[in-house]
Structure 1
């Protein structure tokens, strides 16, 4: 094989799918991707919620779908700017929340409107023609929808129905209606100005949203379904992919907000030409289920968890190494990952060493290989020392990413990751590490502060709870045999009480 002199700037793609120039040519069409493409099969057609850890390839899937020729049209809904920013900063909404008014049904109505507008935009590119055809549509007993209610809904927001200001207008209209219904010139809740109980405000709010928003929206959805039956082969995808951004993790309404979206998008399932796809990070969906906002088993038919195996990750690296050689060095031969990484590290083949230190996510593998290429910096061949040096940087990078991923779930996640260093063997049983357990408890108690949550106290004082954190985040796995270790996944996110007498292995990257 021709020797290649790698430069410090060489890489096999960016870690962010949005800027990854390798993605289009090196994309691996997994079974998950094939499921998302299907519009005809009832089982696959229902798969709409993409669940995965940081770096598992959620955004890459949606980006590839946006350019797939099998898809007629594709559009994106920006959750932050579309809905979330408004409800987070609205004084009226904040007052209702402060007084304990449950607004989840209102959030659902906002989401349903946003989704409806996007569907109409894609099915009827000329908004005016849609409004005109709706106005001309007469009511009939044979219709499967109430055309008058659909018309009422569109008419009530006609001037801004398709505008960015619609979320604010719907909120303002509700505030006005509630103020009138409650007999107030301006609805006031909380503080000295409160003269209506929370219970009454809750009843009036729920009644208004149900009758004036959700009921009419449902009839409009039915109308669109019937009117678009001839368009079922159009294959339209709408994706929502910014639900794990930092703006969400700092808000107390984040779970209500996403839960409302998951309720709203199901209402549009009957429009067969449209698939609305939601991408959610695993820890966020776990938080929704933990807070009992919805029943997990009812979502199973909708969820596509992203899991990769060693063969698939190796194929991704093969594709990207080959692409780098062909385009950066004009190489004509097919070059695979193992052709470049063809030596041993610590007595193991280097490709096994690298892959075992990823968490079998594409971003991990790309990051580690990029760091190896950067360490080469002008040398003709890679070596064991270069990979070991890259591993130190990769460990730091991966650890920081995990802290960012889990900090909203476990405020002391850095301490939980650090204290695994007290366990001195790569595999262990809980009953065999009493000395380490005592040191870990002392360490975590020393890291506690006065305003810590009850959650941290439970973890610091109960080693079984800490084990669950380690398993959930992927730093330990259940050792089933010398060749099989079971790590956390969406289908098994936590340890069962029957697991605690088993043998565990520390993930190779975190056994330092």
Structure 2
């Protein structure tokens, strides 16, 4: 084709880096690699879209919303979780050490039940709510097996049309009322706040904790079990009608970290529970690191993580998928301006580099963590450098790499800030190191400088915690232990790969296994810095390492 008809204009982009701002191109350029059918199959248990930041979780949820006939989206920012955190009764229970896990499950079960009912019966007002309830009572009022479910609907009466946060506040008020009734006249003067709990004697705490625990245990979870059975039989029995609740933004700061992980764990348990209603499905998007945090912090006796595997849909992108995505988007943005002919990547980007043997698309993809956001960000940087030209040259590609690399390093710090609050200190251990290195390559001066910076850091960061133990008097922590912790962090975020023996290949967290054991890191003979960080960390690279295509499969 005639290349002169193409021109890279100022501010040309192949898309925004988040799904909400990218809906136009997302609609036209969605790549269906089999995940959409699987997640929309109500018979499939896969309900939790799992992936790293920028892997396409929100885009997949958006596509479900455009495909499903009946759906509703829940945003945790719109649910008054912070009201719950600051409520006196919840703080009272926390001060006594009463587990609220069952209470959190009750909240989710009620909210999800109400949302499905509003979706199924189009309940938007008090009269709509009454019409639904009248029909339910006439059908089941004399059915003794549905007694507890009918009791529950009777109790909530005409409130089903209320907003989600109003339901949450109603249930919390009921928890406070039930607690007051349970502790009785003997403790009627007690202030049900955290301060009130702290003023109790040890004996009083034991007795009231026991009664408060009984209140939580006797919440209406049994009634709600029967409600689900009734709904499966009465409201959601038509196999032709399918209903979806979509939940995104769980990784945002809608509550404190401790409350957030417990609420997410409760949601996961309720996603499993709602599987008994065949025609409905709850689909939630969740970052992989946040799920690990949820399981780590809520793990109880008898917990078996493998029981959750069938509910997880882990998003992975092949180089072919990403290439197809880039080509689709390039075609779309140029089509509206210049031509209706199909455009190949080679029409815009340089072909194989002389003496290098590597294509420009391989050069780009090797500097990503194999997710759409990375690839689109790199392409946008290339267009920003090469604007007002007909093609992206290798010179422009290398200049764009420098900008992209700095942004990738910044993004890693933001993405992993909850897990590794001092990541920006830890990663400095790689600065000015060779692209392929061994443990002995880490200079004592650079290690010492990183350790000093980490010693004043946040102890939630495992690297900080180990360094602080190292500096304790009579510590038995060795420098090798410090390196293992740091390499574990760097491997997990995707900054480095490791090779346990000369016969093995390098393994990466985003392709092979998400974390490396202490034994694997200890045995590792060689490490490799990810190419996305070459420029931002001043990695020492041989010329052939820049352009030679080396598969990371």
How much does 1:94 deviate? 2.5
Q: Is the 8 A contact 1:99 1:190 kept in 2?
A: no
Partner of 1:173: 174
> 1:464 aligned to 2:484?
yes
Q: How many residues align?
A: 497
Q: Is the 8 A contact 1:238 1:277 kept in 2?
A: yes
Q: Is the 8 A contact 1:153 1:217 kept in 2?
A: yes
Distance 1:181 1:491 in 2: 53
SS in 1 for 2:109: helix
Q: Is the 8 A contact 2:488 2:518 kept in 1?
A: no
Q: Is the 8 A contact 1:95 1:189 kept in 2?
A: yes
How much does 1:499 deviate? 2.3
Summarize the Cα distance change of 1:292–1:89 in structure 2 as closer, same or farther, 3 Å threshold: closer
Distance 1:74 1:123 in 2: 10
Task: Judge which range, 250-259 or 21-30, deviates more.
Answer: 250-259
Partner of 2:55: 56
> 1:104 aligned to 2:93?
no
Summarize the Cα distance change of 1:333–1:176 in structure 2 as closer, same or farther, 3 Å threshold: same
Partner of 1:298: 307
Q: Is the 8 A contact 1:112 1:265 kept in 2?
A: no
Distance 1:440 1:33 in 2: 47
Q: Is the 8 A contact 1:282 1:490 kept in 2?
A: no
Alignment equivalent of 1:508, drawn from 519, 523, 531: 531
How much does 1:304 deviate? 0.8
Q: How does 1:13-52 map to 2 (within 5 A)?
A: 13-20=15-22, 21-40=24-43, 45-52=44-51
Partner of 1:324: 333
Alignment equivalent of 2:376, drawn from 366, 373, 377: 366
Summarize the Cα distance change of 1:305–1:27 in structure 2 as closer, same or farther, 3 Å threshold: same
Partner of 2:147: 148
Summarize the Cα distance change of 1:467–1:89 in structure 2 as closer, same or farther, 3 Å threshold: same
How much does 1:25 deviate? 0.8
Q: Is the 8 A contact 2:98 2:213 kept in 1?
A: no
Partner of 1:425: 434
CA deviation digits over 1:479-508, x for unaligned, max 9?
A: 589996421149722112442323322111
How much does 1:159 deviate? 4.0
TM-score computed with the length of structure 1 as normaliser: 0.90
Partner of 2:237: 230
> 1:187 aligned to 2:196?
no
Q: Is the 8 A contact 1:83 1:111 kept in 2?
A: no
Partner of 2:448: 442
State the Cα RMSD in Å. 2.5
Summarize the Cα distance change of 1:103–1:35 in structure 2 as closer, same or farther, 3 Å threshold: same
How much does 1:317 deviate? 0.5
Distance 1:256 1:25 in 2: 38
Distance 1:411 1:198 in 2: 36
How much does 1:410 deviate? 0.9
Partner of 1:477: 497
Distance 1:483 1:137 in 2: 66
> 1:87 aligned to 2:84?
yes
Distance 1:194 1:360 in 2: 56
CA deviation digits over 1:385-441, x for unaligned, max 9?
A: 21122112211222222111111111111112222115x2222333x42xx153343
Distance 1:37 1:400 in 2: 35
How much does 1:358 deviate? 0.9
Unaligned runs of 5+ in 1: none
Summarize the Cα distance change of 1:440–1:282 in structure 2 as closer, same or farther, 3 Å threshold: farther
Summarize the Cα distance change of 1:312–1:284 in structure 2 as closer, same or farther, 3 Å threshold: same
Distance 1:124 1:358 in 2: 46
